[in-house]
Copies of this chain bind each other. A is one copy, B any other.
């Protein structure tokens, strides 16, 4: 059985693992234009739940960094802030996906090294 200490350690490491990939998930989900609330729902449905306190500041930071652009619109009697990727955002996203792939391959490779007859991964 897992001790409370090991459980806390795992949780801590799990969050550290998630860092960085939150941005990937957000940029991925913005393949189509979204406003914050539906974006958050889509992330949750896609297996990457992100708290609103994390998501909205992140959206604003990505916009200030030029990866997203936003636009206020009134829809269904509500004021909503729609986000979309900029060309630079799409480009950087593609490069980050390649990097992510590379990291995954490296970890998978290291995971098998040392086994008898290890071949290409």
Contacts and interface: CB of A to CB of B under 8 A. Distances in A.
Interface string A40-74: 00110011100000000000000001110000000
Nearest to A49: B106
Given A18-B20, A106-B46, A31 B95 contact: no
Given A6-B92, A114-B31, A114-B32, A47 B109 contact: yes
- This chain's copy number in the assembly: 2
Contacts of A23: 13, 16-17
A10 B24 CA distance: 12
Interface of A is mostly: helix
A3 B107 CA distance: 31
7 contacts: A9-B65, A10-B92, A24-B107, A25-B110, A29-B113, A31-B115, A47-B105
